[in-house]
Structure 1
Amino acid sequence: MATFIRSVSAEFAKLLTTRMWWVLALVLFGYIGLLAGGLAALFAGLQSGAIDPSAAGTGGQGAPPLGSIPPLIYSFASSVGYVFPVLLGALATTSEFRHQTLTPTFLATPRRAGVLGAKSLTLFVVGVGLGVVALLASVGIGALVMNAFGVDPLLGDGETWTLIGRTLLAMGLWAIIGVGLGALVPSQVASIVIVLAFTQFVEPLLRLASSFLDWTAQIAQFLPGAASDALVGASIFTGMNPTATAAVALDWWQGGLVLLAYAAWATAGGYFVSWKRDVT
């Protein structure tokens, strides 16, 4: 146990002494804040009547149903921001291969599984921290904008705080997935390309294509992003989709288990594929 605690402390030191984590945190806050503030102004303006639906280019559909705007806005922290903890986890792992820092780490701590476990735990905690940053943007800015338009931000509602707690859990699990991916694909450039390509293009397209048929929607609910949205309990991707099959989703605890399974699979796969190999 003492060795594991020292490994966790070393992992925190390796990560927090670089600029990588706070640069990603700053970009995350600005990105989520811009999206949450802009969409909150649009939806709240439509709902309050301050914005004409025809002038907003919504095709006369107006805003989402009453009471659904706050969860949609707050869920930006995970439904859009999850790519940041994945990137951080992947970068934290691939940088070990790139700069050969794994060699002295394994000399000091020969139990490689313990080192990977310590890194996963460390990144889970830091991923939760990134979740806090994302929620400060989506909830903080979103609630202020909605309140300015006279829309109740539902900050006193228990469901809102449940969503916030599940968002933090989802962001921590995404960071572990990033660690596993970095171990599976030690090349830093390749892992970054895979993260960005899958999260920004491949999965969104798969989820969109699967929404037209019931059987494909049943399969798509097990995609990592869909499982994360189910865990959180809200998502801009499902909340704005009027098709019936878009409502197909796992329960929150099922989504959490699926996301945890992805994290375990990626970490275990990375351990056997590259973590046990000679890194010198």
Structure 2
Amino acid sequence: MRSVAAEFTKVTSTRIWWVIALVLFGYIAVLAGGLSALFGGVQSGAIGSSMGGGQAPPPAQLPALIYSFASSVGYVFPVLLGALAVTGEFRHQTLTPTFLAVPRRGRVLAAKLTTLFGFGAVLGVVALLASVGVGALVMGTFGVDPVLGESDTWALIGRSVLAMALWAAVGVGLGVLVPNQVATIVIVLAFTQFIEPLLRLASTFTDATAGIGRFLPGAASDALVGASFFSIAAPGASVLEWWQGGLVLLAYAVVLTVIGYLVTWRRDVT
């Protein structure tokens, strides 16, 4: 517990966590509000639709789609926070006094995972305040029921928080495996914004690749949450059950962390 408290202090003693939270909130709020207005206006007739009828989500699916932006779009932020929490220690050599105070490096890593898992959940709440708060308000303006009284909606919200927490753990594992901060940031942005979306789209072309594509981390996260904007872009994509998606995402975090522990975490840091 003392190690967890120390890791919590490390994160909160810098500005990066609340800067990421503010950017995340603004980013999701703009996306959720803009697309809620677009789809809500099309469905209410206030906006003329230039899209194919099959491309616009039906009113019953629109709230879940908008609320899922918190994780399906915002997941890159907890990954970055988790990775920066580790790579920053290598960059500034703060691991040296940490390992002198707590020689058991496995305990330090477990404390860091626990702490960042919690901060990932906090970022999940922030993202949901944007997607649910702004999205429900805008959808209500256009006469679309935000279905906030449905248990399925709150189950999706809870799974979104869990997904964001797991993404932060994935970021920790990546930071341990690739301790160079610049390289880690490049890997996160390149994979989440370009490589994986292309792989997921390409995996829908054949049945053989569809079964593989659903095990990609982003696809597993969307399966855990239960909704995603990707379902419109690639409606034929194969998906896992929500609990299977959670286990796959957890497996990514565990595998990255274990390999990083064996490869880099046990090395001399000074």
Q: Tell me the distance in 2 between the aligned counterparts of 1:261 and 1:146.
A: 36
Any stretches of 5+ residues in structure 1 without a counterpart? none
**Contact 2:59 2:144 survives alignment (8 Å):** no
Pair 1:238-2:224 in alignment: no
Pair 1:16-2:15 in alignment: no
Q: Could you report, residue by residue, the CA deviation over 1:155-186 in whole angstroms, capped at 9, with x for unpaired residues?
A: 00100000000000000000011001001001
Q: Tell me the distance in 1 between the aligned counterparts of 2:174 and 2:105.
A: 17
Q: Could you report, residue by residue, the CA deviation over 1:183-235 in whole angstroms, capped at 9, with x for unpaired residues?
A: 10010000000000000000000011111212111100000000000000000
TM-score by length of 2: 0.98
Any stretches of 5+ residues in structure 2 without a counterpart? none
Quote the residue 2:203 is aligned against.
210
Quote the residue 2:92 is aligned against.
99
Q: Tell me the distance in 2 between the aligned counterparts of 1:164 and 1:234.
A: 11
Match of 1:30 among 26, 31, 36: 26
Amino acid in structure 1 at the alignment position of 2:145:
D
TM-score by length of 1: 0.95
Quote the residue 1:115 is aligned against.
108
Q: Tell me the distance in 2 between the aligned counterparts of 1:136 and 1:178.
A: 22
Q: Tell me the distance in 2 between the aligned counterparts of 1:80 and 1:66.
A: 21
Pair 1:265-2:255 in alignment: yes
Quote the residue 1:256 is aligned against.
246
Match of 1:42 among 15, 38, 41: 38
Identity %: 72
Cα distance change, pair 198–62 in 1 and its aligned pair in 2 (3 A): closer
The aligned runs of 1:125-140 (5 Å cut-off) are 125-140=118-133
Quote the residue 1:81 is aligned against.
74
Q: Tell me the distance in 1 between the aligned counterparts of 2:59 and 2:20.
A: 34
Q: Tell me the distance in 2 between the aligned counterparts of 1:40 and 1:82.
A: 20
Quote the residue 1:149 is aligned against.
142
**Contact 1:46 1:62 survives alignment (8 Å):** no
Q: Tell me the distance in 1 between the aligned counterparts of 2:37 and 2:143.
A: 11
Amino acid in structure 1 at the alignment position of 2:265:
W
Q: Tell me the distance in 1 between the aligned counterparts of 2:102 and 2:112.
A: 13
Q: Tell me the distance in 1 between the aligned counterparts of 2:258 and 2:155.
A: 30
Match of 1:173 among 166, 184, 188: 166
**Contact 1:47 1:62 survives alignment (8 Å):** no
The aligned runs of 1:45-56 (5 Å cut-off) are 45-54=41-50
Question: Aligned-pair distance for 1:241?
Answer: 3.0
Q: Could you report, residue by residue, the CA deviation over 1:32-85 in whole angstroms, capped at 9, with x for unpaired residues?
A: 00001001111111111111113xxx2454631230000000000000000000
